[in-house]
Chain A
Amino acid sequence: MNTFADQLLVLVMLINFILLGSSRMTVSIRAVALQGVVLGLLPVLINNFSFHLLLISGGIILAKGVVIPWLLFGAMQRVQIKREVEPFIGYVPTLLLGAVTTALAFVFAARLPLAPEHQGLLIIPSSIATLITGFLVLTTRRKAISQVTGYLVLENGIFIFGLLLTEAMPMMVEAGALLDLIVGIFVMGIVINHISREFSSIDTTRLSALKE
Chain B
Amino acid sequence: MVFLGMLADPAGQVLAGTLLFAVAGVPGLFTRRSASWGGHVAALLSVLGAVTGLAGAVTILHGGINETFVIAWTLPFDSCEIGIDPLSALFLLPVFLIPACSTFYAKGYWPAAANPDSAPKLAFFLGLFTAAMALVVMARNSVLFLMAWEVMALAAYFLLTAENHKKEVRRAGMVYLVATHIGTLALFVMFILLRSQAGSYLFSAMRAVDASSPLSTVIFIAALIGFGMKAGLMPLHIWLPAAHANAPSHISAIMSGVMLKMGIYGIIRVLSFFPHPPLWWGMVVLASGVIAGLLGVIFAIGQQDLKRLLAYSSIENIGIITIGIGIAVIGKTTGSPALLVLGMAGALLHVLNHSLFKSLLFLGAGSVLHAANTRKLELLGGLASRMPLTAMLSLLGMVALCGLPPLNGFVSEYLLYAGFFSSILTGSGSAVLYMALSAVVLALIGGLAIACFVRVYGIAFGSLPRSAEAANAHEAGWEMLAPMGLLALLCIAIGLFPKIAVDLIMPAISSGYLPQQGKDAAAILFPPLGWLTVVSFILLAFAALLLSFFLRGLRRSPAAASDTWGCGYLNPTPRIQYTASSFAEILVKLFGGALRPRYRQPAVTGFFPKPAGFTSRYRETLLDLVIFPFFSIVQERFSQLRKLQHGKLPLYILYIFITLLLLLLWSP
Choose the segment among A40-48, A58-66, A91-99, A202-210 that binds chain B (4+ C-beta atoms closer than 8 Å).
Answer: A202-210
Contacts of B653 in A (CB 8 A): 135, 138-139
> What is the CB-to-nearest-CB distance from A111 to chain B, in angstroms, rounded to a whole number?
11
Contacts of A141 in B (CB 8 A): 650
- A147 contacts partner chain B, Cβ-Cβ < 8 Å: yes
Chain A contact residues, majority secondary structure: helix
Contacts of A209 in B (CB 8 A): 647
* A140:B645 contact, CB within 8 angstroms: no
Kindly name the residue among B649, B650, B654, B657 whose own CB sees the greatest number of chain A CB atoms within 10 A: B650
* A139:B651 contact, CB within 8 angstroms: yes
Q: Which of chain B's residues has its CB closest to A89's CB?
A: B650
**How distant is the Cα of A68 from the Cα of B489 in the complex, in angstroms?**
65
- B646 contacts partner chain A, Cβ-Cβ < 8 Å: yes
Contacts of B657 in A (CB 8 A): 135, 139
- B610 contacts partner chain A, Cβ-Cβ < 8 Å: no
Contacts of A204 in B (CB 8 A): 648-650
- A88 contacts partner chain B, Cβ-Cβ < 8 Å: yes
Contact of A147 among B646, B647, B650, B651 (CB under 8 A): B650
Q: Which of chain A's residues has its CB closest to B174's CB?
A: A212
> What is the CB-to-nearest-CB distance from A15 to chain B, in angstroms, rounded to a whole number?
20
Contacts of A140 in B (CB 8 A): 650
Q: Which of chain B's residues has its CB closest to A146's CB?
A: B650
* A211:B650 contact, CB within 8 angstroms: no
**How distant is the Cα of A59 from the Cα of B307 in the complex, in angstroms?**
61
Contact of A142 among B646, B650, B654 (CB under 8 A): B650
**How distant is the Cα of A204 from the Cα of B654 in the complex, in angstroms?**
14
* B647:A88 contact, CB within 8 angstroms: no
> What is the CB-to-nearest-CB distance from B19 to chain A, in angstroms, rounded to a whole number?
31
* A207:B649 contact, CB within 8 angstroms: yes
Are A208 and B647 also in contact (CB < 8 A) when A135-B657, A139-B657 are? Answer: yes
Contact of A210 among B645, B647, B651 (CB under 8 A): B647
Q: Which of chain A's residues has its CB closest to B660's CB?
A: A135
- Which residues B598-655 have CB closer than 8 A to chain A? 645-651, 653-654
Q: Which of chain A's residues has its CB closest to B647's CB?
A: A208
In the complex, per-residue mask of A173-212: 1 if CB is within 8 Å of any chain B CB, else 0: 0000000000000000000000000000000110111110
Count of chain B residues with a beta carbon within 8 Å of a chain A beta carbon: 10
- Which residues A132-188 have CB closer than 8 A to chain B? 135, 138-142, 147
**How distant is the Cα of A138 from the Cα of B651 in the complex, in angstroms?**
9
* B650:A208 contact, CB within 8 angstroms: no
Q: Which of chain A's residues has its CB closest to B667's CB?
A: A113
* A147:B649 contact, CB within 8 angstroms: yes
**How distant is the Cα of A26 from the Cα of B232 in the complex, in angstroms?**
59
Q: Which of chain A's residues has its CB closest to B646's CB?
A: A208
In the complex, per-residue mask of B234-268: 1 if CB is within 8 Å of any chain A CB, else 0: 00000000000000000000000000000000000
Contacts of A207 in B (CB 8 A): 647-649
* B651:A211 contact, CB within 8 angstroms: no
Contacts of A205 in B (CB 8 A): 648-650
In the complex, per-residue mask of B476-510: 1 if CB is within 8 Å of any chain A CB, else 0: 00000000000000000000000000000000000
Q: Which of chain A's residues has its CB closest to B654's CB?
A: A139
- Count A-B pairs with CB separation below 8 Å: 33
Contacts of A211 in B (CB 8 A): 645-647
Q: Which of chain B's residues has its CB closest to A135's CB?
A: B657
> What is the CB-to-nearest-CB distance from B112 to chain A, in angstroms, rounded to a whole number?
27
Q: Which of chain B's residues has its CB closest to A132's CB?
A: B657
Q: Which of chain B's residues has its CB closest to A142's CB?
A: B650
Count of chain A residues with a beta carbon within 8 Å of a chain B beta carbon: 15
**How distant is the Cα of A207 from the Cα of B645 in the complex, in angstroms?**
12
**How distant is the Cα of A196 from the Cα of B651 in the complex, in angstroms?**
20
- Which residues A106-150 have CB closer than 8 A to chain B? 135, 138-142, 147
**How distant is the Cα of A147 from the Cα of B648 in the complex, in angstroms?**
13
**How distant is the Cα of A141 from the Cα of B650 in the complex, in angstroms?**
7
> What is the CB-to-nearest-CB distance from B647 to chain A, in angstroms, rounded to a whole number?
3
Contacts of B654 in A (CB 8 A): 135, 139
- Which residues A25-81 have CB closer than 8 A to chain B? none
> What is the CB-to-nearest-CB distance from A108 to chain B, in angstroms, rounded to a whole number?
8
Contacts of B649 in A (CB 8 A): 147, 204-205, 207
* B650:A138 contact, CB within 8 angstroms: yes
> What is the CB-to-nearest-CB distance from B654 to chain A, in angstroms, rounded to a whole number?
4
> What is the CB-to-nearest-CB distance from B164 to chain A, in angstroms, rounded to a whole number?
14
> What is the CB-to-nearest-CB distance from B105 to chain A, in angstroms, rounded to a whole number?
35
> What is the CB-to-nearest-CB distance from B340 to chain A, in angstroms, rounded to a whole number?
50
> What is the CB-to-nearest-CB distance from B156 to chain A, in angstroms, rounded to a whole number?
22
Contacts of A138 in B (CB 8 A): 650, 653
* A88:B646 contact, CB within 8 angstroms: no
**How distant is the Cα of A139 from the Cα of B650 in the complex, in angstroms?**
4
> What is the CB-to-nearest-CB distance from B193 to chain A, in angstroms, rounded to a whole number?
36
> What is the CB-to-nearest-CB distance from B564 to chain A, in angstroms, rounded to a whole number?
49
**How distant is the Cα of A138 from the Cα of B646 in the complex, in angstroms?**
17
* B645:A88 contact, CB within 8 angstroms: no
**How distant is the Cα of A91 from the Cα of B657 in the complex, in angstroms?**
20
> What is the CB-to-nearest-CB distance from A173 to chain B, in angstroms, rounded to a whole number?
19
**How distant is the Cα of A138 from the Cα of B655 in the complex, in angstroms?**
12
- Which residues B385-406 have CB closer than 8 A to chain A? none
> What is the CB-to-nearest-CB distance from B351 to chain A, in angstroms, rounded to a whole number?
39
Q: Which of chain A's residues has its CB closest to B653's CB?
A: A138
**How distant is the Cα of A141 from the Cα of B653 in the complex, in angstroms?**
11
**How distant is the Cα of A140 from the Cα of B648 in the complex, in angstroms?**
11
Contacts of A139 in B (CB 8 A): 650-651, 653-654, 657
Q: Which of chain A's residues has its CB closest to B664's CB?
A: A108
**How distant is the Cα of A79 from the Cα of B646 in the complex, in angstroms?**
26
> What is the CB-to-nearest-CB distance from B121 to chain A, in angstroms, rounded to a whole number?
20
Q: Which of chain B's residues has its CB closest to A136's CB?
A: B657
Contacts of A142 in B (CB 8 A): 650
**How distant is the Cα of A207 from the Cα of B650 in the complex, in angstroms?**
11
**How distant is the Cα of A140 from the Cα of B653 in the complex, in angstroms?**
10
Contacts of B651 in A (CB 8 A): 139
> What is the CB-to-nearest-CB distance from B139 to chain A, in angstroms, rounded to a whole number?
33
**How distant is the Cα of A105 from the Cα of B646 in the complex, in angstroms?**
31
**How distant is the Cα of A141 from the Cα of B654 in the complex, in angstroms?**
12
**How distant is the Cα of A204 from the Cα of B651 in the complex, in angstroms?**
11
**How distant is the Cα of A126 from the Cα of B649 in the complex, in angstroms?**
26
Contacts of B647 in A (CB 8 A): 207-211
Q: Which of chain B's residues has its CB closest to A141's CB?
A: B650
**How distant is the Cα of A135 from the Cα of B645 in the complex, in angstroms?**
19
In the complex, per-residue mask of B276-309: 1 if CB is within 8 Å of any chain A CB, else 0: 0000000000000000000000000000000000
> What is the CB-to-nearest-CB distance from B632 to chain A, in angstroms, rounded to a whole number?
15
Q: Which of chain B's residues has its CB closest to A144's CB?
A: B649
> What is the CB-to-nearest-CB distance from A192 to chain B, in angstroms, rounded to a whole number?
12
> What is the CB-to-nearest-CB distance from B628 to chain A, in angstroms, rounded to a whole number?
16
> What is the CB-to-nearest-CB distance from A147 to chain B, in angstroms, rounded to a whole number?
7
> What is the CB-to-nearest-CB distance from A90 to chain B, in angstroms, rounded to a whole number?
14
> What is the CB-to-nearest-CB distance from A152 to chain B, in angstroms, rounded to a whole number?
14
**How distant is the Cα of A205 from the Cα of B648 in the complex, in angstroms?**
5
**How distant is the Cα of A135 from the Cα of B653 in the complex, in angstroms?**
7
Contacts of A147 in B (CB 8 A): 649-650
Q: Which of chain A's residues has its CB closest to B650's CB?
A: A139
**How distant is the Cα of A141 from the Cα of B648 in the complex, in angstroms?**
11
Kindly name the residue among B646, B653, B657 whose own CB sees the greatest number of chain A CB atoms within 10 A: B653
**How distant is the Cα of A135 from the Cα of B649 in the complex, in angstroms?**
12
Contacts A138-B650, A204-B648, A205-B648 aside, 19 further interface pairs with beta carbons under 8 A come to: A135-B653, A135-B654, A135-B657, A138-B653, A139-B650, A139-B653, A140-B650, A141-B650, A142-B650, A204-B649, A204-B650, A205-B650, A207-B649, A208-B646, A208-B647, A209-B647, A211-B645, A211-B646, A211-B647
Return 7 A-B CB contacts under 8 Å, by A number.
A135-B654, A139-B653, A204-B650, A205-B649, A207-B649, A208-B647, A211-B645
List the interface of chain A (C-beta within 8 A of B). Answer: 88, 135, 138-142, 147, 204-205, 207-211
Shortest 6 CB-CB distances between A and B: which pairs? Answer: A208-B647, A211-B647, A139-B654, A139-B650, A138-B653, A204-B649
